[in-house]
A = this chain, B = another copy of it.
Amino acid sequence: MNPPFPIPARRTFTAKTVTLAHGGGGSAMRDLIDDVFLSAFSGAGRAAPEDQARFDLAALAARGDRLAFTTDSFVVDPLVFPGGDIGKLAVCGTVNDLAVGGAVPVALSCAVIIEEGLAVELLRRVVGSMAQTARAAGVSISTGDTKVVARGACDKLFITTTGIGVVRAGLDVGIAKARPGDVLLVNGLLGDHGAAILNARGDLALDTTIESDCAPLNGLIDTLIAAAPGIRMMRDATRGGVAAVVNELAEASAVGVRLSELAMPMRPEVQGFCEILGLDPLYLANEGKILAVVPANEADQALAALRAHPLGREAAAIGTVTAERPGRVTMETRFGGERIVDMLVGDQLPRIC
């Protein structure tokens, strides 16, 4: 980034709530950006003076041969939930999208749409989470935008993060690359995010301590790639859960996938939660779980590497790729039967991320 831009002295930003003026392009907006965003992001990178961040291309090219570019909007409801908030989620989601493509995340942009009346303290908390999570993931938040809409024109706060990263030279992972005999791994307990959000909405009055698994996975993925250089595919199991990813994989790779219900790592609380509500945990969203397909001869070392990482202690092999029934996902149930795992039309829960 250049040229360096002095962060202005902390202004006495005393507004308690965000108003339309804070999105108007004038001095109120500048104060909000200086005081709430730049002061938080300065440790983790900094919004650029020119409304645009700049990166040296030779330095990027020294880290890999391809630039990765990905975007996600976050509209999760509620904004704050056990295990995280929309800010943490917005950073993890895009960092993970980069990482599962084999890219080392470099920087994020952050565009916010704020509803008039949002408490500045809440915004500060969310922005603080973004900064903290970005630091933990080793990425900068380098550029941004702020819009404010009138009361009722959006639900409190939406965040869109876009990420750039560098794909490691020689690594070629993809949803169409699974082959019969490959093994399907997951790095831990399934369904925590979906269950935590649904519970946090408070309509259910279920007494659980389930927390979102929201976490940046780029470090874990570094470890995994080192242990299994022949890795075929990684994907984070967010909206649509494990079922959506595995169905996409089966279709794109023209293979069958056979899952094992008994092998699925899942908290008994999540299982119970799903039973009470009639949900299928295979479709619950995760925000700190990847599915990885590795060749059979690398499966043991991949699993060991995952389990040695703090975010992979409960990692498991949950299925195998087959030549039979291409495009189909089946699951051996805990009672030894078999069922088809289809793609849902929609999701069980809207605004899960």
Seen from chain A, the residues whose Cβ lies within 8 Å of a Cβ on chain B are 2-3, 5, 19-29, 49-58, 60-61, 64-75, 77, 97-98, 100-101, 103, 107, 109-113, 142-145, 147-150, 152-155, 158, 160, 162, 164, 166-167, 173-176, 238-240, 244, 252, 285, 343-347, 350-351
21 pairs from A and B in contact (CB 8 Å cutoff): A3-B174, A23-B346, A24-B344, A24-B346, A50-B173, A51-B101, A52-B97, A52-B101, A53-B68, A57-B57, A58-B65, A69-B164, A70-B109, A71-B145, A73-B160, A75-B149, A109-B162, A147-B351, A152-B152, A154-B155, A158-B158
> A111 — which chain B residues lie within 8 A by C-beta?
71-73, 160, 162
> A51 — which chain B residues lie within 8 A by C-beta?
70, 97, 101
Closest 9 CB pairs of A and B: A21-B346, A25-B239, A24-B347, A25-B240, A24-B346, A162-B162, A71-B109, A160-B160, A52-B70
CB <8 Å contact, B53 and A70: yes
Q: Which of B75, B100, B173 contacts A147 (CB 8 A)?
A: B75
Q: Which of B64, B71, B350 contacts A160 (CB 8 A)?
A: B71
Task: Find the B residue at minimum CB distance from A165.
Answer: B52
CB <8 Å contact, A56 and B66: yes
Q: Which of B3, B27, B240 contacts A176 (CB 8 A)?
A: B3
Task: Find the B residue at minimum CB distance from A53.
Answer: B69
Task: Find the B residue at minimum CB distance from A162.
Answer: B162
CB <8 Å contact, A153 and B150: no
Copies in the complex: 2
Q: What distance in Å separates the Cβ of A231 from its nearest Cβ neighbour in chain B?
A: 14
Given A49-B252, A67-B164, A111-B160, also A19-B72 (CB < 8 A): no
Q: What distance in Å separates the Cβ of A110 from its nearest Cβ neighbour in chain B?
A: 7
Task: Find the B residue at minimum CB distance from A176.
Answer: B3
From A52, A101, A154, A343, name the one whose CB has the most chain B CB atoms within 10 angstroms.
A52
CB <8 Å contact, B107 and A69: yes
Task: Find the B residue at minimum CB distance from A52.
Answer: B70
Task: Find the B residue at minimum CB distance from A155.
Answer: B153
Given A53-B69, A351-B149, also A164-B166 (CB < 8 A): no
CB <8 Å contact, B50 and A67: no
> A28 — which chain B residues lie within 8 A by C-beta?
345-346
CB <8 Å contact, A57 and B49: no
> A238 — which chain B residues lie within 8 A by C-beta?
25
From A109, A238, A239, name the one whose CB has the most chain B CB atoms within 10 angstroms.
A109
Q: What distance in Å separates the Cβ of A32 from its nearest Cβ neighbour in chain B?
A: 11
